[in-house]
């Protein structure tokens, strides 16, 4: 299996008033074709910026410095001209965000935004044709009254409905890679689970690769084939989901797992803000164990 | 009843109440004049009987609330009284002078929206870069001087130094004035099919309208930029960027329209404020609008005319604000669809 | 406070603004020492040297009766600034009190005060001041009165909005539970939280008061001759364009410089204190 996305030794720093602030300290990760890979860490660990680097969103800001290689589908993205890279957005790579309701433009109905998304693949698509395509895409995420949803504004729809719209948009152009950044974290737990199942079924059917970014180990365990754990800009552990969960090797991973709130448990154990042991070297689970 | 109609009804009724409040305010201000308005109006040579007669006619002997009652009763009949300065009904005077002022303000409003908002969009799109810094300084300069200063500077530069525009007036003396239908020269000349007059009037209005608009342009640019920069941090813009929508399309459509909603109220207020600032520009460019009349009646303490002028301008001000509210309701689906109905 | 100042000083534009304000305030305060012809602030006539373009020692030229324009502009600054300070020091307390009372007490107090504010805000600012000026004698005091009358509603509106949102905050509830008096809560608890917005607006407004006051006197409804005033200087010089350009250009630029300075600083303050409306 060749990697669709291959990130090697990626570093990122922000230039601020008080000099450089390094956010990523050389992380490497890859996603194979059709694979669902999770990147897990707390907020501020550098997982969301990684997603934005892949899309080339961060590099547009002048205060950022990025080094390392990001290879997508055999092409080095960092070496690519900006225009060619821009062309990948919304076509071969698409993204889903944390809060579906605020990710939809409040002053345009869904169909206008869907039209814009479809134009990324086919710039000449008419509004009517786009509506047809969009309605099909919405039916894929189990929305029956697609017409009504297309005419609605985000504030008229429930969070779960908006999330379905976002999933439909993200997959409408048949992307090779879907980046899901904490998808649906802003939703109710049950709605989140429901929409995640929808998303999983769909990407499996379409054979889309997914980079799944989350702080929620429970969700990751259910969704991902393989997991990377990131802590303060370093990957501290990686391996197949089953292997990693059954035998977490890194102290930070263990702390993170202990922090998952359990329904029967007595409150939420806290992760210490800083611990010597968290800077221990990376633990890699061999891929052969990936047989769950 | 659709939400927009309900909004309109509500705004109209509030405006009527406010307008009555304004009339009371102005009426009270006008009656605290030191000295006898009748004497001032008639001049020092009038006899005591003449003054007494005028006082009777103006009900100046009655208590102020009775006077206000007379005033309201006349107002209901569209009668603002007689101007002591021109000896004509105030409504006639205003009808004569107001159109020129409104025309000036309207063209200035077109400049304000047509230049200020695009500049603001540009500034927000290239925020932090050279173009942004330049636009920000220029728009701050725009709001940093009263419009008479801009009028004088523009006149000096573009009428005297570079004689691109006429120095004063609404239309050249050599051109026959179009038939007065609406009072708006630009409209009346078109109604006559007289393009010479139309372009001549257009040529005359550009410089004063631009001077009047300058601070509004700056204000509109600053507001648009500020609100758009805020919008650029919203998740739906990040979504648009991550889907690779063209930057220009994001700026002009997806970031602009949500930002317009908070900007519009203030832009409306600035537009309405030009009704006042028009006085300054008209004075510089000898524009035959309400300015000279307004200043003259104030200097002559012409009560009826002062009250009438202020009242009419305030009514215009309120109408502009209602129009802005309707515009906001139109572009903001949350208001338009307030009762859950769908477009 | 120190931090605010440091941030202001680190931004070239606001630094430039501080410099402009510095120049304006300095020349207004020390006018007697800076003006080459201090006596020209009054009714002096020198027909041997009237309507002269800029030359030494009249670097801005002389006016129609031979007075030094530079000296008159410096004294006009003194009057403009004084007017601005007086207007704001009356309008702000009135507006703040009205806004606090309406916002915190609510009910009919809110209704009456805010409708009153609406009435004042429904007359274009300049027109209201003109109307007041019209019925009063055009003197400096009355000019201040007119501008004050049109200015307080803006503070009432501003403080009202802040108060309405602050009144929901925990610290206000806490004070109510302790049994603090309404006056205490309004002025000691809520008011301090309105201060950043008020200070920012006041900085911007010092410029705008100068602007409006000069507009009034430009129309002949403000300070009367021979008191030097930037607005009336422009009005007077306007009749002698373009030949005697210095009569209008220098007073015009003087207004622009002063207002621009206050705007630059007010704008930077707004960003630092985060009190964008």
Residue ranges of the alpha helices (H) in C12-106? 12-29, 31-34, 69-105
Query: Is there a contact between A12 and A22 (Cβ–Cβ < 8 Å)?
Result: yes
**CB pair distance less than 8 Å for B243 and A95:** yes
Average pLDDT over residues A99-115: 93
CA of C130: which chain B residue's CA is closest? B298
Of the candidates C13, C219, C234, the beta carbon closest to that of B279 is on C219
Pairing of strands A19-32, A3-16: antiparallel
Question: C16 or A19: which carries more pLDDT confidence?
Answer: C16
Query: Is there a contact between A244 and A254 (Cβ–Cβ < 8 Å)?
Result: no
Structure-block tokens of residue A97: 């965000």
**Percent of chain B predicted with pLDDT > 70:** 96
Q: In what order do the strands lie in the sheet with A283-284?
A: A93-96, A177-181, A209-214, A36-40, A226-231, A234-240, A283-284
Among C59, C15, C53, C224, CA closest to C140: C224
Q: Suggest the residue from B231, B241, B244, B343 to mutate for an interface test with chain A (most A CBs closer than 10 A).
A: B244
Q: Quick check: B152 contacting C, CB < 8 Å?
A: yes
Q: Quick check: B64 contacting C, CB < 8 Å?
A: no
- Within 8-67 of C, beta carbons closer than 8 Å to B belong to 13
Confidence band (pLDDT; 50, 70, 90) for A249? confident
**CB pair distance less than 8 Å for A106 and B333:** yes
B277-306 burial string, b = 16+ CB within 10 Å, else e?
bbbbbbbbbebbbbbebbbebbebbbbbbb
pLDDT in tens, A157-216: 999 999 999 999 999 999 999 999 988 888 888 888 889 999 999 999 999 999 999 988
Among A43, A50, A42, A48, CA closest to A26: A50
Query: Is there a contact between A40 and A31 (Cβ–Cβ < 8 Å)?
Result: no
Count how many pairs of residues, chain A against chain B, have C-beta atoms within 8 Å.
78
C41-62 burial string, b = 16+ CB within 10 Å, else e?
beeeeeeeeebbeeeeebebbb
Among C168, C230, C164, CA closest to C197: C164
C-alpha dist (Å) from residue A223 to A189, A196, A203, A240 = 15, 8, 11, 12
Confidence band (pLDDT; 50, 70, 90) for B338? low
**CB pair distance less than 8 Å for A107 and B258:** yes
CA of C138: which chain B residue's CA is closest? B299
From CA B224, how far away is CA B335, in angstroms rounded? 21
**Percent of chain A predicted with pLDDT > 70:** 92
Confidence band (pLDDT; 50, 70, 90) for A263? very low
Residues on chain A touching B243 (C-beta within 8 angstroms): 89-90, 94-95, 116-117, 120, 169
Q: How many CB atoms are located within 10 Å of the residue B265 CB?
A: 15
Residue A268 confidence (pLDDT): 47
B211 Cβ contact partners less than 8 Å away, ≥ 6 residues apart: B147, B150, B151, B154, B155, B281, B284, B285
Strand partners, A212: A38, A180
Query: Is there a contact between C228 and C76 (Cβ–Cβ < 8 Å)?
Result: yes
Residue A288 confidence (pLDDT): 54
**CB pair distance less than 8 Å for A153 and B332:** no
Average pLDDT over residues B49-64: 81
pLDDT at A29 over 70: yes
Transcribe B202-259 into DSSP letters.
Answer: HHHHHHHHHHHHHHHHHHHHHHHHHHHHHHHTSHHHHHHHHTT--HHHIIIIIIHHHH
Of the candidates B240, B244, B258, the beta carbon closest to that of A106 is on B258
pLDDT at A285 over 80: yes
Query: Is there a contact between C13 and C268 (Cβ–Cβ < 8 Å)?
Result: yes
Helices and strands counted in chain B (H then E): 16, 0
Of the candidates A103, A107, A116, the beta carbon closest to that of B332 is on A107
Residues on chain A touching B242 (C-beta within 8 angstroms): 52, 55, 57, 89-90, 94-95
Strand partners, A36: A210
Residues on chain C touching B18 (C-beta within 8 angstroms): 115, 118-119, 122
From CA A32, how far away is CA C88, in angstroms rounded? 68
Among C77, C118, C99, C116, CA closest to C206: C77
Q: State the greatest distance between any 2 C-alpha atoms of chain A, in Å, as a whole number.
A: 59
Which stretch of A116-120, B1-5, B144-148, B330-334 has the lowest confidence by average pLDDT?
B1-5
Spans of all domains in chain C? 17-33+59-272
**CB pair distance less than 8 Å for C131 and B153:** no
Transcribe C174-210 into DSSP letters.
Answer: HHHHHT--HHHIIIIIIHHHHHHHHHHHHHHHHHHHH
The gap from C-alpha A31 to its chain's centroid, in whole angstroms, comes to: 12
Residue A267 confidence (pLDDT): 45
The gap from C-alpha C20 to its chain's centroid, in whole angstroms, comes to: 15
Report the mean per-residue pLDDT for chain A. 87
Q: B241 CA to chain C: closest CA distance, Å?
A: 26
Q: In what order do the strands lie in the sheet with A75-76?
A: A19-32, A3-16, A64-72, A75-76
Query: Is there a contact between B322 and B315 (Cβ–Cβ < 8 Å)?
Result: no
From CA B126, how far away is CA B123, in angstroms rounded? 5
Which stretch of A66-80, A160-174, B93-107 has the lowest confidence by average pLDDT?
A66-80
The gap from C-alpha C214 to its chain's centroid, in whole angstroms, comes to: 10
Residue B135 confidence (pLDDT): 96
Residue ranges of the alpha helices (H) in C106-124? 107-121
**CB pair distance less than 8 Å for B140 and C248:** no
Q: Note the residue count of chain B.
A: 343
Instruction: Provide the 8-state DSSP code for A145.
Output: -
Structure-block tokens of residue C110: 């809110």
Query: Is there a contact between C6 and C12 (Cβ–Cβ < 8 Å)?
Result: no
pLDDT in tens, B204-231: 999 999 999 999 999 999 999 999 999 9
Q: What is the interface pTM, i.e. ipTM, of the complex?
A: 0.89
CATH architecture of C17-33+59-272: Orthogonal Bundle (1.10)
Query: Is there a contact between C213 and C143 (Cβ–Cβ < 8 Å)?
Result: yes
A159 Cβ contact partners less than 8 Å away, ≥ 6 residues apart: A100, A101, A184, A186, A187, A188, A191
Confidence band (pLDDT; 50, 70, 90) for B34? low
Opening angle at CA B336, ends B332 and B338, nearest 5: 110
pLDDT at B258 over 50: yes
Residue C142 confidence (pLDDT): 86
* Residues of chain B with a CB closer than 8 angstroms to some CB in chain A: 128, 234-236, 238-245, 249, 254, 257-258, 261, 331-334, 337, 340, 342-343
Report the mean per-residue pLDDT for chain B. 88
Tracing tokens 């009419």 back to the chain, one arrives at B312
**3-state SS class at A213:** strand
Q: Quick check: B148 contacting C, CB < 8 Å?
A: yes
Of the candidates C214, C248, C276, the beta carbon closest to that of B226 is on C276
Q: What distance, in Å, lies between the first and last C-alpha atoms of chain B?
A: 15
Question: C75 or B175: which carries more pLDDT confidence?
Answer: C75
Helix (H) / strand (E) element for A227: namely strand A226-231
C-alpha dist (Å) from residue A128 to A114, A135, B29, B250, B332 = 11, 11, 62, 22, 24
**CB pair distance less than 8 Å for B235 and A98:** yes
Query: Is there a contact between C207 and C215 (Cβ–Cβ < 8 Å)?
Result: no
Of the candidates B254, B331, B342, the beta carbon closest to that of A151 is on B342
Residues on chain B touching A153 (C-beta within 8 angstroms): 333-334, 337
**CB pair distance less than 8 Å for B317 and C123:** yes
C-alpha dist (Å) from residue A111 to A96, A119, A131, B80, B246 = 17, 12, 6, 54, 18
Helix (H) / strand (E) element for A30: namely strand A19-32
**CB pair distance less than 8 Å for C127 and B34:** no
B137 Cβ contact partners less than 8 Å away, ≥ 6 residues apart: C13
Residues on chain C touching B272 (C-beta within 8 angstroms): 124
Among B13, B15, B19, B20, CA closest to B69: B20
**Percent of chain A predicted with pLDDT > 90:** 53
pLDDT in tens, B263-280: 888 888 888 889 889 999
pLDDT in tens, C198-238: 988 898 899 999 999 899 889 888 888 788 899 999 999 98
Low-confidence stretches of chain C (pLDDT < 50) are 275-277
């Amino acid at each position: 299996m060749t990697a669709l996305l291959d990130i090697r030794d990626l570093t990122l720093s922000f230039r601020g008033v008080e000099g450089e602030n390094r956010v990523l300290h050389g992380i490497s990760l890859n996603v194979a074709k059709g694979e669902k890979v999770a990147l897990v860490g707390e907020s501020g660990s550098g997982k969301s910026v990684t997603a934005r680097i892949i899309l080339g969103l961060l590099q547009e800001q002048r205060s950022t410095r990025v080094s390392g290689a990001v290879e997508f589908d055999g092409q080095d993205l960092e070496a690519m001209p900006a225009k060619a890279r821009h062309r990948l957005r919304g076509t071969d790579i698409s993204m889903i965000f944390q809060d579906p309701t605020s990710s939809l433009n409040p002053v345009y109905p869904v169909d206008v935004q869907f039209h814009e998304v479809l134009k990324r693949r086919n710039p000449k698509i008419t509004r009517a044709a786009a509506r047809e395509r969009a309605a099909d895409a919405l039916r894929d995420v189990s929305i029956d009254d697609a017409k009504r949803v297309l005419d609605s504004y985000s504030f008229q729809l429930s969070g779960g409905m908006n999330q379905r719209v976002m999933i439909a948009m993200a997959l409408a152009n048949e992307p090779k890679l879907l980046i899901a950044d904490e998808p649906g974290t802003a939703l109710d737990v049950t709605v989140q689970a429901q929409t995640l199942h929808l998303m999983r079924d769909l990407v499996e059917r379409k054979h889309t690769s997914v980079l799944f970014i989350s702080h929620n180990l429970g969700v990751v365990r259910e969704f991902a084939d393989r997991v990377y754990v990131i802590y303060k800009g370093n990957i501290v552990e990686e391996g197949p989901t089953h292997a990693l969960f059954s035998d977490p090797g890194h102290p930070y991973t263990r702390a993170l797992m202990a922090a998952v709130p359990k329904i029967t448990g007595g409150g939420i154990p806290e992760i210490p803000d800083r611990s010597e042991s968290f800077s221990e070297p990376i633990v890699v689970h061999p891929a052969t164990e990936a047989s769950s | 009843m659709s939400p927009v109609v309900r909004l309109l009804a509500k705004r109209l009724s509030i405006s009527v109440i406010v307008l009555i409040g304004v009339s009371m305010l102005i009426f009270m201000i006008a009656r605290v004049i030191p000295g006898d308005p009748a004497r001032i109006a008639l001049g020092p040579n009038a006899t005591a009987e003449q003054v007494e007669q005028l006082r009777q006619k103006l009900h100046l002997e009655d208590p102020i609330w009775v006077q206000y009652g007379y005033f309201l009763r006349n107002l209901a009949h569209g009668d603002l009284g007689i101007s002591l300065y021109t000896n004509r009904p105030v409504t006639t005077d205003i009808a004569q002078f107001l159109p020129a002022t409104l025309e000036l303000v309207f063209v200035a409003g077109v400049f304000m929206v047509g230049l200020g908002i695009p500049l603001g969009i540009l500034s927000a799109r290239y925020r932090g870069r050279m173009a942004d810094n330049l636009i920000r300084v220029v728009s701050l300069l725009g709001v940093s001087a009263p419009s008479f200063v801009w009028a004088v500077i523009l006149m000096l530069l573009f009428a005297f130094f570079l004689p691109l525009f006429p120095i004063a007036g609404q239309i050249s003396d050599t051109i026959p004035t179009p038939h007065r239908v609406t009072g708006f020269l630009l409209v009346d000349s078109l109604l006559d099919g007289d393009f010479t007059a139309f372009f001549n009037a257009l040529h005359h209005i550009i410089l004063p309208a631009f001077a009047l608009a300058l601070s509004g342009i700056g204000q509109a640019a600053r507001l648009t930029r500020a609100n758009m920069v805020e919008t650029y941090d919203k998740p739906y813009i990040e979504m648009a960027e991550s889907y690779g929508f063209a930057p220009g399309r994001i700026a002009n459509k997806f970031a602009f329209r949500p930002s317009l909603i908070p900007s519009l109220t203030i832009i409306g207020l600035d537009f309405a404020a030009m009704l006042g600032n028009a006085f300054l520009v008209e004075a510089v460019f000898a524009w035959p609008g309400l300015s000279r009349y307004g200043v003259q009646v104030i200097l002559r303490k012409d009560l009826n005319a002062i009250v009438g002028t202020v009242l009419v301008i305030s009514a215009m001000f309120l109408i502009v604000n209602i129009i802005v509210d309707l515009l906001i309701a139109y572009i903001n689906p949350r208001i338009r669809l307030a009762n859950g109905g769908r477009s | 406070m120190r931090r605010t100042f440091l941030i202001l000083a680190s931004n070239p534009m606001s630094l430039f603004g501080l410099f402009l304000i510095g120049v304006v305030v300095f020349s207004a305060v020390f006018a007697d020492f800076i003006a080459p012809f201090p006596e020209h602030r009054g009714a002096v006539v020198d027909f041997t040297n009237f309507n002269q373009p800029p030359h030494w020692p009249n670097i801005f030229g002389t006016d129609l009766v031979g007075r030094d324009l530079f000296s008159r502009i410096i004294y006009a600054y003194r009057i403009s600034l004084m007017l601005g300070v007086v207007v704001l020091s009356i309008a702000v307390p009135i507006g703040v009190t009205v806004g606090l009372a309406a916002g915190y007490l609510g009910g009919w107090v809110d209704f009456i005060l805010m409708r009153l504010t609406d009435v004042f805000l429904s007359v274009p600012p300049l027109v209201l001041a003109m109307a007041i000026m019209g019925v009063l004698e055009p003197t400096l005091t009355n000019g201040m009165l007119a501008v004050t009358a049109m200015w307080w509603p803006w503070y009432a509106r501003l403080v009202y909005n802040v108060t309405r949102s602050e009144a929901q905050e925990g610290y206000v509830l806490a004070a109510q539970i302790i049994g603090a008096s309404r006056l205490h809560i309004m002025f000691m608890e809520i008011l301090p939280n309105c201060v950043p917005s008020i200070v920012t607006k006041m900085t911007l407004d010092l410029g705008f008061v100068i602007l409006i006051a000069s507009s009034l006197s430009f129309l002949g409804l403000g300070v009367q001759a021979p008191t030097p005033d930037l607005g009336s200087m422009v009005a007077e010089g306007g009749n002698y364009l373009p030949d005697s350009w210095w009569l209008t250009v220098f007073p015009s630029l003087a207004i622009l410089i002063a207002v621009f300075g206050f705007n630059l600083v007010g704008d930077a303050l707004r960003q630092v204190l985060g009190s964008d409306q």
